[in-house]
Amino acid sequence: MSSHLHLPEPTAEIIAVQDDLVTLSPLGDHPLIKNEVVYIIPHGPEREGKPREYLKAEVLRVRGKSAEAQVFESTAGVRIGDQVIQSGDMLSVALGPGLLSTVFDGLQNPLAEIAADHGFFLPRGVLTNPLDTTRKWAFQPVRKSGDMVQAGDVIGTVPEGRFEHKIMVPFSLNGAWTVERIREGTFTIEDVVATLSDGQGKTRDLTLVQNWPVRRPIPDRLVSSGRAERLYPSEPLITTMRLIDTFFPIARGGMGCIPGPFGAGKTVLQSLISRFSAVNIVIVVACGERAGEVVETITEFPHQSDPSGGGTLMDRTVIICNTSSMPVAAREASIYTGITLGEYYRQMGFDVLLIADSTSRWAQAMRETSGRLEEIPGEEAFPAYLDSSIKGIYERAGVIRTGDGKIGSLTMIGTVSPAGGNFEEPVTQSTLGTVKTFLGLSAERAYKRFYPAVDPLLSWSRYHKQLATWYETNLGSDWVAQVEEMIDLLRRGDEVNRMMQVTGEEGISIEDFIVQQKALFLDMVYLQQDAFDDVDASAPLPRQQETFGIVYRVAKHAFDFPEKDEARRFFTELTSLFKNLNYSAEGSKDRDELKGRIEALIRHAPSRYGEEAAE
């Protein structure tokens, strides 16, 4: 891999330094531009054998001729008079084959390659190419000379693992272009594979890679030019998590958030979603200093088989994480980098899942930078534009029909880490005002070992009506109504449970006690799911449908127990059988036997009218 990038001569200098915020002034007629990437060259004698340092920074604000820039690395040793190189480019990512199975930092530096060259303590100011410039790819053109193309059109493909990676006309090109020549063969990402002409003497050479500014959504330009179409999410993202798929669905191409206090199980839950969800590509963005969780993902994914196909989980995954040597401000860049990569694969027609952990730390980085810029603060000192920034990120999710007729989706799920589990703090509230599925984790449920510790009385999904047609077509016309009945049963059971805490069991009727036992049964056998059991960790939709049908019958059954102890014994035995049913493999003899025992237990239980009609 190439170690250094070619940069122009310095055109600006440092006139002030404040932590990782520096003030720049141009040396000549080279105006500084907002969001432009610049490189600071720290002054001083270079150590023997040490390469020159180039500290990457982004211009945040321009005031007259001077500008303030955020440095993405430590500014130790940076002083007034240090020279600055203007790149002329916005903060961008390289889009091309070789992204999958790679671990990047928030600025798309490949961490494994840097570690191989410099050791595991990453040096400051090292510039690298994000993608391997020596690896060769087999390019198969799908266009020929004389074809007319526009931005986003596919000109050829290369195999990237088991995926067909589409090479597209750069998204930045305007108007129609003619293919002058196109080659078939094996090339590096820097080799020219095609040449385009605009008919007015202007030509453009195309390689296997293109750059795109991370703060600008990829599809917007293509949609406006008619080369793609944004669609309304109409199908659920099947996660194989019963609680999510049945009670709080997330649309494929939709938005969801998982807030919760420390120790409530966010990491395990997001790991299960990324492993078992019905998607092609997974992008994990660790935009906070979550070293333990990131290391676990990096070490486990290469050794875990991919449930959706051959190979390992890492074969379809991109991991973006910040390192301990990067300042807090670099967290902001990581989430933009991740979502731009997600948009790129969506543009190929893939279903992409992006998990951001945790957006709270991303917001804290914005708060710190905003404070150094002396901007007027909002609630809890967060910037006044916090709400719009969060909306701007999540709204980049969605479903599109690409120029070649493929349907691609980008689903975003962000975890939030509110201090003390306070869901009223600004980041959580701004997120809840944006997303359409809220999976609120509860420390109380985690303490009881009720995993996933999502509180069903606190959580919600606004996708029920939006996805109703899909559920009616695939799971039956009564599915949505039955789910709503079960949510209502959980609420009634919670009310009875609160009464029992005040009056004891003696203070409630046998009817109320049965309601409480039914709600507890639903919670124990359907909402809870064992992440460490080979069978129960993932419940495909047909299995969920079968299980829910039995649970629904129990919930609607008109039991007539003479005493509370008898009701308790019944539901304890039924719960035990049902948990074993959840652990039994599909089609196994044990599963058939357990279903028979459950049916017999329900059939012989005391009942007033058999089974009630739906209320």
Mean pLDDT of all residues in 397-408: 89
- pLDDT grade, residue 282 (50/70/90)? very high
Strand partners, 167: 156
Q: pLDDT value at position 326?
A: 63
CA distance 451 to 449: 6
Task: Report whether pLDDT(208) > 80.
Answer: yes
CB 363 within 8 A of CB 427: yes
- CA 259, 265, 270, 272: dihedral to nearest 10 degrees? -150
Give the DSSP H or E segment for 475.
helix 468-475
Decide which of 328 and 542 is more confident: 542
| Beta strands, E only, 161-209 | 163-168, 177-182, 185-187, 194-197, 203-206
CA distance 394 to 73: 27
Task: Report whether pLDDT(415) > 70.
Answer: yes
Give the DSSP H or E segment for 440.
none
Task: Report whether pLDDT(220) > 60.
Answer: no
Closest by alpha carbon to 317, among 341, 354, 290, 281? 281
Closest by alpha carbon to 387, among 430, 432, 336, 358? 430
In the chain, the amino acid numbered 280 is N
Q: pLDDT value at position 338?
A: 95
Decide which of 292 and 72 is more confident: 72
- pLDDT grade, residue 577 (50/70/90)? very high
Span 146-180, pLDDT tens digits: 999 999 999 999 999 999 999 999 999 988 999 99
Mean pLDDT of all residues in 336-343: 96
φ and ψ at 142, to 5 degrees?
A: -115, 0
Q: pLDDT value at position 244?
A: 97
Least confident of 362-366, 479-483, 589-593: 362-366
Mean pLDDT of all residues in 72-80: 88
pTM: 0.93
- pLDDT grade, residue 612 (50/70/90)? very low
Give me the residue label for tokens 């789910």. Answer: 483
Task: Report whether pLDDT(613) > 60.
Answer: no
Half-sphere exposure for 126 (CA within 13 Å, toward CB)? 24
Query: From the annotation, which residues make up the binding site for ATP?
Result: 260-267
Q: pLDDT value at position 611?
A: 46
Mean pLDDT of all residues in 425-454: 94
Mean residue pLDDT of the chain comes to 89
Mean pLDDT of all residues in 91-119: 90
Q: What is the DSSP string of 591-611?
A: HHHHHHHHHHHHHTS-EEEEE
Tell me the percentage of the chain whose pLDDT exceeds 90.
Answer: 68
Q: pLDDT value at position 486?
A: 97
Mean pLDDT of all residues in 31-38: 92
Span 446-470, pLDDT tens digits: 998 999 999 999 999 999 989 999 9
Least confident of 269-273, 294-298, 329-333, 500-504: 294-298
Q: pLDDT value at position 3?
A: 44
CA distance 338 to 358: 13
Query: From the annotation, which residues make up the binding site?
Result: 260-267
Q: Could you give the domains of the chain?
A: 12-90 (2.40.10.170), 137-208 (2.40.50.100), 242-455 (3.40.50.300), 478-611 (1.10.1140.10)
Mean pLDDT of all residues in 233-241: 96
